[in-house]
Structure 1
Amino acid sequence: MAQGISSRHLGTRRAHNGDLTARETCKAGFSEEDYTALISENILEGEKLLKVSFSSCLGTKGTQYETNSVDFKVRADGTVFATRELRIPSEQVAFTVTAWDGQTAKRWDAVVRLLVAQPSSARPAHKKGKPSAGLDASQPPNDTLLPWPQHQNANGLRRQKRDWVIPPINVPENSRGPFPQQLVRIRSDKDNDIPIRYSITGVGADQPPMEVFSIDSMSGRMYVTRPMDREDRASYHLRAHAVDMNGNKVENPIDLYIYVIDMNDNRPEFVNQVYNGSVDEGSKPGTYVMTVTANDADDSTTANGMVRYRIVTQTPQSPSQNMFTINSETGDIVTVAAGLDREKVQQYTVIVQATDMEGNLNYGLSNTATAIISVTDVNDNPPEFTTSTYAGEVPENQVEVVVANLTVMDRDQPHSPNWNAFYRIISGDPSGHFSIRTDPVTNEGMVTVVKAVDYELNRAFMLTVMVSNQAPLASGIQMSFQSTAGVTISVVDINEAPYFPSNHKLIRLEEGVPTGTVLTTFSAVDPDRFMQQAVRYSKLSDPANWLHINATNGQITTAAVLDRESLYIKNNVYEATFLAADNGIPPASGTGTLQIYLIDINDNAPELLPKEAQICEKPSLNAINITAADADVDPNIGPYVFELPFAPAAVRKNWTITRLNGDYAQLSLRILYLEAGMYDVPIIVTDSGNPPLSNTSVIKVKVCPCDENGDCTTVGAVAAAGLGTSAIVAILICVVILLTMVLLFVVWMKRREKERHTKQLLIDPEDDVRDNILKYDEEGGGEEDQDYDLSQLQQPESMEHVLSKAPGVRRVDERPVGAEPQYPVRPVVPHPGDIGDFITEGLRAADNDPTAPPYDSLLVFDYEGSGSTAGSVSSLNSSSSEDQDYDYLNDWGPRFKKLADIDNCHPKLHPSPRCLWSGRIQRPKKPQPEPASIPENPAMSPPPLATGFPKDPVRGPAPENRTHP
């Protein structure tokens, strides 16, 4: 890219009217009458060229700018920019800028001149001011030095305004160095007077990316420090600063624009590697197909980014090897030859190449993509029947039956509107018995019966059908003569059911006709005219069984009397259904309904309503409204006549009837008072039929005393119920007797409960020996606490062993593993003052208690080892069973009688422990000594005598856990 493709103003020439001070009066207008800027030959759209300065003395608000050129505009801040991309062929361009104030409507004009920059060697020398340092031959070629113009004011005083400018800087991308590489030198003409230090700021200097550019602070030479990439960043905007050694500003900051020059280092890249397009078959040459697009990251304004397209290959090359062409600049692919036929070639594959450098294959970079072009189908092939005639048959009276399948052939794309067949019947079916539906899978036409056919009317049909497509044929394509075919359909005769021509036949007659009366003839017709068949009749539904039908001719007669008031009558109509069947194979039958409308006759006498009523015993209070109900209908119902019979005479004596209207009358008392009670009052009711019918009905009237409102009182209600005073008294006496019996029963139960409680108090609760452990009058014989650990009784006698045994829990229902403890042998014969007296007193108390039941239940004992240190207690006071006499056991009371029969033991004859536990024995009540203190360890106490017993020959070994029964 040539230097200067993007321009920035290189400088401006301003006219001065002398030094203005703050005390001078503000003058509205442009700061210059003529603005000049140096630009490059090529200008980009929106590029800033220069800035004009305008003051309205009222602020910039409301100031608007306009130009007389369509290529340049002025922003609100005075910046002049290009409205489009321009190339300036001449040396300068001039146009007018107008500023106008929206508040005062005044206008001011200024001229803007844009000078095209020339190469440095061609620049003319300045005529005014001191010679520019930029012309110093001692400066390097990249140094740029500009002179500063001088002006004179009206007083002849010279004021030199020093501004410094620098042209755009162009840097080629991908430079190989060496780095840092000098770009340009900036310098102020004040450096002859004072030392100046230079610096740059902006993106690429002190802003990321950092230190891309650097400057020598003393000489003003600016460098690039690394290779540039235009695709990463195309330009940089820096500001150069000049200050003295004390940091004071010497010159105003100036803008530096650095442009990266593009190199052809990027290949064109297609947006897609595969493009899909389509074109109709038979399209004319020049038909648009698709567009392929490739983008080049290089500068599109140069040849590096200008891409051109071409087609490399086409597959298949049929019917021509060049069926398509491509626009080299836009990438549009169009047809170039005729002959596209989907039925021959359905798809083309085209390889497209994109090359930059305006398509120069020698210098440019290239890339390829694939374009797949599908040839779309058009309806250029009409459907054709595979045969000219088709045949089928259909049974009569059937619908939704397919009678024939029509097959067609279509070379267009299957399952598309160009292929889908549409069938229609042209002739042969004026009544619309048939329709043709299309099978969506096979595209066949299915001739279907939609309206039943009758063999007796049409024995065959000759149809003419035509087939077409859903889509119309393409232009220039004619329908084939093979798109029409004939279909012959034969109708098969079947046995049809007879039918009643006058179905739901209605006849009218009076009710009550005698049995055997002929009502009508209900006959059916057999539609099978070509079959000689007989029809027979039968009843299908006759709810009341009133009718009879002749099986051969359908004549209907009555089998019972028809009653209009029957429950089978609905709205005066009786309905019966009959069946007519032929003798075909298989037989067929049809049904018919006969409706009989029955005309009412006066065959029902009226009934009196209500059946029951009540009235006060005084006739002045109220009366009873009566009416009648008749099962007949008008005119065989009301008006009714109500009257009282002459017999019995008491009826007319006590009662009277007053007629209200044709349907209602009033029954009231004729006498002044009638005793309360129930009365049957007969009343004769007569209707208005021809002839009239009468009926004597009885109404039950309850006569009762009433209050002032005419309502029956309670006493009256009871009396009216038929209960006299004596009956009421009898009922009350019965109630009192029942209550007395209940009270006596309750008192008896309370007394019995009290006696039972008194007897229980006579028995000392401590005398109940059904305990786990017996209590003896021995110190140290055991604890009264019966829940101690029995395992302590199974320990050895050695106290040292007991004291040294580790604490723990031991089961009491299993035998100890170690040696069984040996306890001192107790005396075999107990002290006579203890056990003997105890047993004697217990027996005496038991004998004197006739209500106490025997306690002979099976007892359970704790297991205390296989042996006992106490020896056998069964030999107390005896050495052998022969020395004892047990006959006196017969003198025991009823309480121990059962126990004596079972155990055969007596407490006076040196009882064994088993006998002691077999019955309820009362301990003697005498002062007991204070029990010995129980040691903390139960194992240290001597075991009680009655905690275990030897094996008994009757009950077996003593159980391990003895429980209370």
Structure 2
Amino acid sequence: MFSLHAGSGLFLLAVLVGLQIAAEGRGAPPCKPGFSEDTYKVVLPDTVEEGRPLFHVDFLDCGRGAPVRMECNNPSDFRIEADGVVYAARSLQRSPQHALVLLVKAIDGTTQQQWTTQVRMEPPALSSQQVPDASVPPAGNTDLMEISFPSRRNSQLKRMKRDWVIPPINVPENSRGPFPQELVRIRSDHDKSRALRYSVTGPGADQPPTGIFIIDPISGELSVNKPLDREHISNFHLRAHAVDLNGNQVENPIDIVINVIDMNDNRPEFTHQIWNGTVPEGSKPGTFVMTVTSVDKDDPKTANGMLRYKILSQTPESPTSNMFTINNKTGGIITVAAGLDREKVPQYTLIIQATDMEGNPMYGLSNTATAVIRITDVNDNPPEFTAEMFSGEVRENRVNVIVANLTVTDKDQPNTPAWNAVYKITGGDSTGRFSVPTDPTTNEGLVTVVKPIDYETSRTFVLTVEAKNEVPLARGIHYPHLSTATVSIRVMDENESPYFEPNPKLIKLEEGLMPESALTIFTAQDPDRFMRQKITYSKLSDPANWLRIDPNTGRITTIATLDRESSYVKNNLYNATFMGLDDGKPPANGTGTLQIYLLDINDNAPKVFPQEAEICEKPEPNAINITAVDGDLNPNAGPFAFELAHRPFDVRRNWTITRISGDHAQVGLKIGFLESGIYEIPIIITDSGNLPMSNTSYLRVKVCQCDINGDCTDQQHIMAAGLGTGAIIAILLCIIILLILVLLFVVWMKRRDKERQAKQLLIDPEDDVRDNILKYDEEGGGEEDQDYDLSQLQQPDTLEPDAIKPVGIRRLDERPLHPEPQYPMRSAAPHPGDIGDFINEVTRPLPVQAEPFPVTKSRPNAIRPRRPDWIPLFLGLFSSRRQQLS
């Protein structure tokens, strides 16, 4: 059984909601999927808040495991979750005299099987007898609301007798204590028969933020341990547990919802401290300006979060102190008075106040912000000229020059379309020689000459100019006429350049005209009719230097023969440029072009092309195709006549020529075989001019042996070899590298020579034993006995005793016939080239075992094993030289 009793202490807002299940039958029927009851009865208060849990319907699944979807017949007012808990979909206020029936449907997600039950919701007045009384309360604070665990059956297959929905517990935020502060007491019916322990779990208890709610494990008193902040956490969902001393669960856990009641502890906060808006000047009352908004962290569903706006002040108070108003709920600012004029008041500053508690000044909290309203400009002022008459002057033939500056005034905001002026010439310029663009910086009108003005034609201009803005005047603004001004312009005379007429001048002549022939007279006109000036002529451009002009009369004559085939003639036209210079101050000049169209005459004989060719020794299958080339045009060119010359006589005997077309012919061998070689064939070509011209051209032909394809087999292709820039650079780099290597080698050789010279300084060249003959005053044999090799002194162990050496000179490549005597091992002698090492070696004491060079009677003058007399002398010289060097 699950019951709840409300005390008279902390919770004035707690509401009791109960659900009673009418029991049917006494036995324990087998488990059948469906709702636990066909009809539920619910005690529902008259007023229900949105999102509040109302009751719970129990659906028995009987272990099927298939998902079940819950629906109700009034989804606009009630919302049911999958666990069977029904919530208020919106705030409800019902009649206290009538009950409400709600149909709940469960649908199997797999088989689409449906189960239906109904819930009868009655007001407390009709169901007061159904609210169960609390059992005897346990010892403790009797003022606390008591929550009892519902009765628990041993078998889950049996239906529960009763099932209750625990109403939420409301706790105000920012409580000052003392803490811990008791909220409710939780108890189980089993505490009468055995000792129980109570606990709560969930966020705020054993989950972060921990330690907010605690429960006495023995008495079951649930307490809050610290002040709550609704703006941080608005509600807590806890679960209460009851177990025995062995930890066995004795009751099903119950869910407890703790709502934090909002207090007015937050001021409204504007999203911006300074708001900027604009409104056009001259706007009518009711024109929207902008919207200001503020937020309040308190509950917006209560008066704590309901805001109201108002305007505290307006600066400046012109033309009235109430030019704007604000919607107290939405914060929208609109105009309420006419007379906004940017030229008088360009900006307004409003102080806006937002107050909660629905604007109650006694209990509500307030905050302020600033609204800056800028009055935007409209075109309510046309531009006006600062003067009625402007003047200027300009020299003739000048363009893109400013003649006069027109100034205007405009009271509208500068650099806006309502301020920018546009100028238009309305009279005095029928030929369109002037324009009036606007200076973007100063807004002045710049009277500019756009077409040349001739002093001889017009000496003065009087223009009428009007000014207006880029955009039309605002609606309701009317002016009788646009602002206009008069501009007087005086033209100043200048010395103008002479001009040739016509320019260019075209004449047609036959080429070949002889020198000193008169062509034409090319003169210039002086536009300055009121000046008597003389014009002289000169030649500026004559690429082929064919012409001459008389400086006074402008008569043009030839100084060379005109040739149409010249490279200076393009498309039969030859261009020459002449200049006419007057004697004004300063002098002026003009240029004219003479175009001479040269008519062709037959003055060029045809030629053969190509001039070199090759052909096989046998006439088949090759032949040479030739073309006649003539510098003249038709009819002085083709068709051409081709003919072989009569001399030398073998030309017509060996060769034949056949005309293919008017410009082409074919040359071939006439005989069956012609020896390989170079042949020059004279060919006479005649054109078709009125007076035909002939020319003998020589065709250089190479006769050679050919393969089956008709190509020469003995031809040696000579390729023109050329070196590119990359190849030249590579060659230069190789040469530089070789030079560096040679230089390094020379340096290395010099360094090695210096090292050798340094070593030779240790020994006096005059005392070098290798370059001197020492006399011992001993009689002996001849050359073969006294001329000995010093290397034998360095390696005496390689010598053989004289006793076993045969008579005569022993060959060094002979193998000894008896074992050689063994002597103590000596270190290898240094290289003979190092005299210092050699001296150190020979001055070492000799062994005393046996004489390496025994003296025999047959060789009385053999070298004896004693130190030569020159060694001490050499050592002395060596020591003195070393001291000198050091």
Q: Do these two structures clear the TM 0.5 threshold for a shared fold by scoring above it?
A: yes
- Per the TM alignment, residue 429 of structure 1 is displaced from its structure 2 partner at its CA by 3.0
Distance 1:84 1:305 in 2: 19
- Equivalences for 1:102-141 in 2 at 5 Å? 108-115=116-123, 126=129, 132-133=134-135, 140-141=142-143
What does the per-residue CA deviation read over 1:630-649, in whole Å, with 9 as the maximum and x for residues that have no partner? 44443334533636458x8x
Structure 1 position 472 matched with structure 2 position 462: no
Structure 1 position 70 matched with structure 2 position 76: yes
- 3-state SS of 2:20 partner: coil
Match of 1:752 in 2: none
Distance 1:714 1:94, change over 3 A: closer
- 3-state SS of 1:252 partner: coil
- Per the TM alignment, residue 663 of structure 1 is displaced from its structure 2 partner at its CA by 5.8
Distance 1:496 1:241 in 2: 116
Match of 2:341 in 1: 341
- Per the TM alignment, residue 529 of structure 1 is displaced from its structure 2 partner at its CA by 2.9
Match of 1:327 in 2: 327
For 2:28, give the aligned amino acid.
T
For 2:478, give the aligned amino acid.
Q
For 1:336, give the aligned amino acid.
V
User: What is the RMSD of the two structures over their aligned residues, measured on CA atoms?
Assistant: 4.9
Distance 2:682 2:192 in 1: 158
Distance 1:282 1:959, change over 3 A: same
Match of 2:546 in 1: 546
Show structure 2 runs of 5+ residues with no match: 1-8, 153-158, 716-758, 784-860
Whether contact under 8 Å (1:657, 1:665) holds in the other structure is no
- Per the TM alignment, residue 669 of structure 1 is displaced from its structure 2 partner at its CA by 9.1
Match of residue 45, structure 1, among 35, 42, 50: 50
- 3-state SS of 2:475 partner: coil
Match of 2:184 in 1: 184
Distance 1:112 1:401, change over 3 A: farther
- Per the TM alignment, residue 65 of structure 1 is displaced from its structure 2 partner at its CA by 2.0
For 2:343, give the aligned amino acid.
E
Structure 1 position 17 matched with structure 2 position 27: no
Structure 1 position 85 matched with structure 2 position 86: no
What does the per-residue CA deviation read over 1:179-222, in whole Å, with 9 as the maximum and x for residues that have no partner? 33332334445545555544333333333333333333443333
Whether contact under 8 Å (2:38, 2:117) holds in the other structure is no
Distance 1:99 1:144, change over 3 A: same
Match of 2:220 in 1: 220
Distance 1:196 1:398 in 2: 115
Distance 1:636 1:237, change over 3 A: closer
Whether contact under 8 Å (1:164, 1:251) holds in the other structure is no
Structure 1 position 642 matched with structure 2 position 639: no
Distance 1:109 1:673 in 2: 127
What does the per-residue CA deviation read over 1:825-849, in whole Å, with 9 as the maximum and x for residues that have no partner? xxxxx99956999xxx9xxxxxxxx
Larger radius of gyration: 1
What does the per-residue CA deviation read over 1:519-547, in whole Å, with 9 as the maximum and x for residues that have no partner? 22223232333333333322222233332
Distance 2:675 2:206 in 1: 134
Distance 1:675 1:302 in 2: 127
- Per the TM alignment, residue 253 of structure 1 is displaced from its structure 2 partner at its CA by 2.8
- 3-state SS of 2:477 partner: coil
Stretch moving more, 243-252 or 30-39: 243-252
For 2:420, give the aligned amino acid.
N
Match of 2:804 in 1: none
- 3-state SS of 2:304 partner: helix
Whether contact under 8 Å (1:35, 1:52) holds in the other structure is no
Structure 1 position 507 matched with structure 2 position 512: no
Distance 1:7 1:245 in 2: 33
- Per the TM alignment, residue 62 of structure 1 is displaced from its structure 2 partner at its CA by 6.0
Match of 1:529 in 2: 529
- 3-state SS of 1:944 partner: helix
Match of 2:875 in 1: 944
Match of residue 94, structure 1, among 90, 96, 100: 100
- Equivalences for 1:453-852 in 2 at 5 Å? 453-479=453-479, 481=481, 483-606=483-606, 629-637=629-637, 639-640=640-641, 642=643, 644=645, 660=659, 686-694=686-694, 772-774=762-764
Whether contact under 8 Å (1:611, 1:699) holds in the other structure is yes
- Equivalences for 1:917-928 in 2 at 5 Å? none
For 1:23, give the aligned amino acid.
P
- Equivalences for 1:897-912 in 2 at 5 Å? none
- 3-state SS of 1:551 partner: coil
Match of 1:859 in 2: none
Whether contact under 8 Å (1:9, 1:167) holds in the other structure is yes
Show structure 1 runs of 5+ residues with no match: 151-158, 716-768, 787-829, 842-925, 951-957
Match of 2:723 in 1: none
- Per the TM alignment, residue 318 of structure 1 is displaced from its structure 2 partner at its CA by 2.1
Match of residue 40, structure 2, among 6, 10, 34: 34
- Per the TM alignment, residue 36 of structure 1 is displaced from its structure 2 partner at its CA by 0.6
Match of 1:819 in 2: none
- Per the TM alignment, residue 774 of structure 1 is displaced from its structure 2 partner at its CA by 4.9
Distance 1:145 1:651 in 2: 145
TM-score by length of 2: 0.71
For 1:588, give the aligned amino acid.
A
Match of 2:738 in 1: none
Distance 2:263 2:674 in 1: 140
- Equivalences for 1:280-359 in 2 at 5 Å? 280-359=280-359
Stretch moving more, 74-83 or 678-687: 678-687
Whether contact under 8 Å (2:496, 2:526) holds in the other structure is yes
Distance 1:5 1:326, change over 3 A: farther
Distance 2:609 2:686 in 1: 13
Distance 1:628 1:250, change over 3 A: closer
Whether contact under 8 Å (1:654, 1:669) holds in the other structure is no
- Per the TM alignment, residue 565 of structure 1 is displaced from its structure 2 partner at its CA by 3.7
- Per the TM alignment, residue 80 of structure 1 is displaced from its structure 2 partner at its CA by 1.8
Match of 2:749 in 1: none
Distance 1:147 1:540, change over 3 A: closer
Match of 1:441 in 2: 441
- 3-state SS of 1:438 partner: coil
Distance 1:377 1:624, change over 3 A: closer
Distance 1:467 1:611, change over 3 A: closer
Aligned length: 743
Whether contact under 8 Å (1:67, 1:95) holds in the other structure is no
- Per the TM alignment, residue 561 of structure 1 is displaced from its structure 2 partner at its CA by 3.0
Distance 1:667 1:197 in 2: 132
Distance 1:626 1:445, change over 3 A: closer
- 3-state SS of 1:199 partner: strand
- 3-state SS of 1:358 partner: helix
Whether contact under 8 Å (1:134, 1:146) holds in the other structure is no
Indicate the percent of aligned positions where both proteins have the same amino acid.
Answer: 51
Match of 2:411 in 1: 411
What does the per-residue CA deviation read over 1:601-634, in whole Å, with 9 as the maximum and x for residues that have no partner? 3344455677778899999999988776544443
- 3-state SS of 1:587 partner: coil
- Per the TM alignment, residue 12 of structure 1 is displaced from its structure 2 partner at its CA by 0.4
- Per the TM alignment, residue 476 of structure 1 is displaced from its structure 2 partner at its CA by 0.8
- Per the TM alignment, residue 440 of structure 1 is displaced from its structure 2 partner at its CA by 1.8
Distance 1:321 1:669, change over 3 A: closer
- Per the TM alignment, residue 589 of structure 1 is displaced from its structure 2 partner at its CA by 1.8
TM-score by length of 1: 0.66
Whether contact under 8 Å (2:644, 2:682) holds in the other structure is no
- 3-state SS of 2:419 partner: coil
Distance 1:300 1:673 in 2: 122
- Per the TM alignment, residue 13 of structure 1 is displaced from its structure 2 partner at its CA by 0.8
Whether contact under 8 Å (1:37, 1:50) holds in the other structure is no
Distance 1:619 1:210 in 2: 119
Whether contact under 8 Å (1:782, 1:942) holds in the other structure is no
Whether contact under 8 Å (1:653, 1:671) holds in the other structure is no
For 2:508, give the aligned amino acid.
R
